Amino acid sequence: MYNELTPEEAYIIERKGTERPFTGKYLSNKAEGTYTCKRCDAPLYYSEHKFESHCGWPSFDDEIPGAVKRVPDADGRRIEIVCANCAGHLGHVFTGERFTLKNTRHCVNSLSMNFVPEKLPALAEKVYFACGCFWSKEYLFQETEGVLATRVGYTGGTTEFPTTVQVTHGKSGHAEVVEVVYNPKVITFEDLAKLFFDAHNSTDVERQGENNTGKYRSGIFYFTENQRNTALRLKKYLRDKGYESVTQIEQASSFYVAAEKYQSYYKKKGEVPTLKSHQLFE
């Protein structure tokens, strides 16, 4: 069973119509979340795929893998995009316009979509930790009681929608980070921050081990003043002990989710990474 559509929605989704430019409700939406198919609720796009093209319709430079199907128009001039689950009309896809590094623009009717905002569980808080390769560090936080969810990705740079290659070679300015969503009633930010400092060498500038491109630099990207003040206090504590931490402590900014193959890397492989504790807070 599909969702009931209004006449305007049916005109777009079932009869392949187009809404008037600059009228769609999601044109200027910048909230974090997931765009889903209006007819069948299948997830289509994440908010990080969305960008401003000034074309009059919501624009995305990527889709959730397997969510969107491309179909040549009958006249052969354009490529239609439809929901891969229900074949509902979304819009058209264009390439070669160079709006973003992915060089792709999904031009989508707002009436073809719903938007599900990202909601943290009640009382939950979030922080981004940069402490070397995010594969092993995500595993560490996943195994910590009180952590509700994790994702790996990139933040702290200047390039919008950075590619993995750009981050790896230091061309985007981003760091590899683990997004940690946690319940502060179960584990405090201070305990998480201590785990963060113990899990890597925060005295190395712009590097961990042999990688010196900046993607492995040490950083805490905070969302609350409590997180900021606690991080500064712990950093001072370490310096007073003679441990010259160079950890960057910055307000959280744009977060770009890494490719699905990097998420929960060790969990998917069924392996346990080698983790070292510097035991700084004993």
Tell me, yes or no, if 86 is annotated catalytic.
Answer: no
110 and 144 part of one domain: no
What is the arrangement of strands in the sheet containing 104-108, beginning at the earlier edge strand? 50-51, 59-60, 104-108, 89-95, 79-83, 68-72
111 and 216 part of one domain: no
185 and 220 part of one domain: yes
Q: Which of 37, 83, 107, 131 is catalytic?
A: 107
pTM: 0.66
Q: What is the CATH number of the domain that holds 172?
A: 3.30.1060.10
Give tens-digit pLDDT for 138-156: 999 999 999 998 999 999 9
- How many C-beta atoms lie closer than 10 Å to residue 255's C-beta? 18
CA atoms within 13 A on the CB side of 106: 26
171 and 207 part of one domain: yes
The pLDDT value given to residue 40: 92
Give tens-digit pLDDT for 29-63: 988 899 999 999 999 999 989 999 999 999 999 99
Give tens-digit pLDDT for 265-277: 998 889 999 888 8
pLDDT of 118 above 60: yes
Average pLDDT along the chain = 90
81 is in which domain, residue-wise? Answer: 7-117
Give tens-digit pLDDT for 169-207: 887 889 999 999 999 999 999 999 999 999 999 987 654
| β partners of residue 208 | 211
Final residue of a structural domain among 117, 145, 161? 117
The reply to whether 167 falls in a domain is yes
Tell me, yes or no, if 133 is annotated catalytic.
Answer: yes
Final residue of a structural domain among 117, 138, 157? 117
178 and 217 part of one domain: yes
The pLDDT value given to residue 208: 46
Q: What is the CATH number of the domain that holds 106?
A: 2.170.150.20
Q: How far separated are the first and last CA of the chain, in Å rounded?
A: 59
Give tens-digit pLDDT for 223-233: 999 999 999 99
Q: Which of 40, 55, 86, 133 is catalytic?
A: 133
The reply to whether 211 falls in a domain is yes
